[in-house]
Structure 1
Amino acid sequence: MWVLLIGSSRVDSTSDFFTQTIRALPNQLRCIPDGEIGNRSNFISWQRPTFPITILQPRRGGQPTAESAAKQYTLEDIKPTGYDDQAIVSYATFCELRDSGTIPAGVRFQVSLPTPLCVVRGLVEDDRVCAQVEPLYEQRLLSALRRIQDHIPASDLTIQWDIPIEIAMLEYNRHRLQDKYWKPYFTPVKAGILDRLTRLAAAVDLGVEMGYHLCYGDMGHTHFVQPDDSGLMVELANEISKIIQPSHPIEYFHIPVPKDRVDEGYFKPMQNLELGDSKLYLGLVHANDESGTKKRLEAAEAVHLNIAGVASECGLGRTPREDFESILEICATVTS
């Protein structure tokens, strides 16, 4: 059984992240991220300087005005994302450690990217501005992706798309969320989400592995809403697979599992997954809870799921370092 590392961590350096994870999981990783250390540890927060401060949400340190909401924005107003710079530097470290034998041959370098929708809805205040600047930010992100693919061989690269805001918008549309922070600014919602994901997938070169991290958020170590079960994610994964697989293979889907869900009911909708050759990773590993992790895995296996591997529920950049170490230990135990 494999292990998927979602992305972020509280490790001090990229080299330390690679070394520590390989030491703990020497044969369980098909791909490995760089740990998203430093200012990248809190997911998209480091993208705030990409946008004018006058359109950012106040909760993100923004100072929106009526004038900024009415302005017409151009690409010059949106700065480069920096995802390419970070990936290229980290890939050099990856290669050094692979050449020295620390990282096994065949393990790919994983770059986790948020969707433009995720970043724009997550940071920008006004719906009208969101609709206007999202295509501009998408252009910036796809330029970064192009440069990543130009510098990293396809055979070494895995691109993971992180999609929490998409899940939140779908839950908002089901009236399970009321905060306008999660409100879609386009209709129809699901079709708009799938159109966006299709464009992003088209920008990933054939030969580059591609996966999806479905997410219910981890702000303050809680979800933006607790999923009733895995049903909504199963529905979305099937739609993504149906639309994208014909043009680009999907290597994996990651589906999170809340800590208290040791019941078969949570997993039962996954019997309806239609993922073709894609692998299923379950984010059921929770820190300092080896017995619960085993119970969640047993509940998943009881409904006869084809599980390729396990993972944490979300990224670990907002958890104490000891929790990160606990996650690695439990992953090693349940996959040994």
Structure 2
Amino acid sequence: MTAIPRVQGAHLVGSINQPTATDTFRIVAENLGADLARIPDGEVGERFHWMLFQGQVFDMTPGLARLPIEPIMHAGFDLRPLALDSSVAPAELVIGELGYAQAASDSYAAFLALRADGVIAEGTRFQVCLPSALAPMTTYIANVDRSSVYPAYEAALKREVAAIASVIPADDLAIQIDMATEFAYIEGTSLGGGPLDPWFAIDTSRDAIIAGCVRLAASIGSAVPADVELGFHLCYGDVGEKHFVEPTDSEALVAVANGLTAEVTRPINWMHLPVPVDRDDAAYFAPLAELNLAATTTLFLGLVHHEDGIAGATARIDAAREVLAAAGVDEFGIGTECGFGRGPAERTAGLLTLHADILKAV
């Protein structure tokens, strides 16, 4: 008889609604620290709205210019697309610093101070969350120029990875690649700018789009040094605490997770998959039977929801366990389906302790 998987440990996706990295580290350590292997800085400051601040990076890039249309404002950011302006050949386009390495360096200093004071437990890693290159490209670059501009942004993101790894010791560092925009392409969903053109896929079939998404993300993940922990957060978005489309089941998530496992050229330490709040049925979890993660990869299911607490999470855990046993998974952890930085700050402590309470209950 296949053993029922154990439920052990929690994972924080990234965003946490606190004013500073120090505030984030403190509230996390006090309410969930014993169950975490790594702690993010909460994506504070200009990263509050995930990667929308990358528009200013594109604005400072010679060779790119905003389309001459009225500003498209969202959360204080102008989402007007940029296009190549013919002043720089696409092959010579150079995108400068993205801001992630500087933010990581600043937050790591706060992390070290709190660990020295005993607030953060020894052995806990500092987690840096990065968007896939496809996300800011899709948000800010005109569709006709995405394939031409992408190599420059991918190169810039890899330089950020190298810069982060150069200032944070490998045994203290964990890097997560966030894949949300990918699932808009996979599901054929518009993100507000019209239909998405999967320029990176060999054709427009679902399998080809999944393969293209995996190829792009695997290139970034493979650039993370082998002695640094690496994880992937697969996501259906979190605008207004709501997915851009609700997944029918976990089939696409499993396909992407298995693709990354096959294509990333270094170990993957964790994989995080979301579970919608209204899904505790066998149909949603059934595709997990085909999950083929490496033995070195810890699975985290984003099944913690503040709306239904311990009871809801337990129902989703029970639905997942039998299927995961069939896939040979002997242990998995829990988390929320996405970051909770856009939720109210006063909910943070209770949501963190909810993770701990769920782990105790199961």
Tell me whether the two structures share a fold, i.e. TM-score over 0.5.
yes
Q: Which residue does the alignment assign to 1:217?
A: 237
- 1:74 CA displacement: 6.8
- Residues 190-241 of structure 1: per-residue CA shift (max 9 Å, x gap): 3332322232123111111101000000112221111000011101111110
Is the contact between residue 101 and residue 163 of structure 2 (CA under 8 Å) also seen in structure 1? yes
Counterpart Cα distance in 2 of 1:329 and 1:123: 37
Instruction: Return the alpha-carbon distance in structure 2 between the equivalents of residues 41 and 75 of structure 1.
Output: 31
Q: Which amino acid aligns with 2:272?
A: H
TM-aligned CA distance change 1:79 to 1:67, over 3 Å: closer
CA distance in 1, matches of 2:154, 2:294: 28
Equivalent-residue separation in structure 2 for 1:237 and 1:65 (angstroms): 32
Match of 1:204, as an amino acid? V
- Quote the offset at 1:70 in angstroms: 9.5
Q: Please give the alpha-carbon distance, in whole angstroms, between the structure 1 residues aligned to 2:114 and 2:84.
A: 51
For the pair 1:187 / 2:201, whether they are aligned, the reply is: yes
Name structure 2 gaps, 5 residues minimum. 1-7, 60-64, 203-208
CA apart distance, 1:130: 1.6
Structure 1 contact 237–253 (Cα < 8 Å) conserved = yes
Q: CA separation in 2, counterparts of 1:154 and 1:298?
A: 36
- Partner residue of 2:282? 264
> How far does residue 35 in structure 1 lie from its aligned partner after superposition?
0.8
Would you say 1:158 and 2:165 are equivalent positions?
no
- Which residue does the alignment assign to 1:143? 159
- CA shift for structure 1 position 263: 1.1
Q: Return the TM-score normalized by structure 2.
A: 0.84
Q: What is the Cα deviation at residue 122 of structure 1?
A: 2.2
With over 3 angstroms needed to count, the CA separation of the structure-2 counterparts of 1:75 and 1:34, relative to structure 1, is farther
Residue 345 of structure 2 corresponds to residue 327 of structure 1: no
Contact between 1:280 and 1:308, CA under 8 Å: does it hold in 2?
A: yes
Partners of 1:87 and 1:75 lie apart in 2 by: 28
In structure 2, the partner of 1:81 is 98
Aligned in 2, Cα 1:20/1:66: closer, same or farther, shift over 3 Å? closer
In 1: Cα distance, 2:359 partner to 2:83 partner: 54
Q: Which residue of 2 aligns with 1:274?
A: 292
Q: Which residue of 1 aligns with 2:62?
A: none
Aligned with 1:26: secondary structure?
helix
1:116-161 CA distances to partner (integer Å, 9 max, x unpaired)?
Answer: 111111222x212222221111121111111100001111111100
User: CA contact under 8 A between 1:58 and 1:64: conserved in structure 2?
Assistant: no
SS of residue paired to 2:35: coil
- Kept after mapping to 2: 8 A contact 1:171/1:177: no
Aligned residue pair count: 330
Structure-1 separation of matches of 2:257 and 2:214: 10
How many Å separate the matches in 1 of 2:82 and 2:55?
A: 17
CA RMSD of aligned residues (A): 2.3
1:26 to 28, 33, 45: 33
User: Is residue 287 of structure 1 aligned with residue 303 of structure 2?
Assistant: no
Is the counterpart of residue 298 in structure 1 residue 322 in structure 2? no
Q: Does 1:120 align with 2:137?
A: yes
1:13 maps to a residue whose letter is T
| Among candidates 247, 252, 257, match of residue 232 of structure 1 | 252
Is 1:108 paired with 2:125?
Answer: yes
Q: 2:234, 2:307 → 1: CA distance?
A: 23
Q: CA deviation at 1:293?
A: 1.8
Q: 2:66 aligned to 54, 69, 80, which one?
A: 54
Q: CA deviation at 1:253?
A: 0.6
What are the Cα deviations for residues 266-304 of structure 1, in whole angstroms up to 9, with x where unaligned? 111111110021111000111242121222122212434
Give the SS at the match of 1:89: helix
Moved over 6 A (4+): 74-77
1:131 is aligned to: 147
How far apart are the structure 2 equivalents of 1:241 and 1:44? 25
Q: Which runs of 5+ in 1 are unaligned?
A: none
Aligned equivalents of 2:266 and 2:83: distance in 1? 43
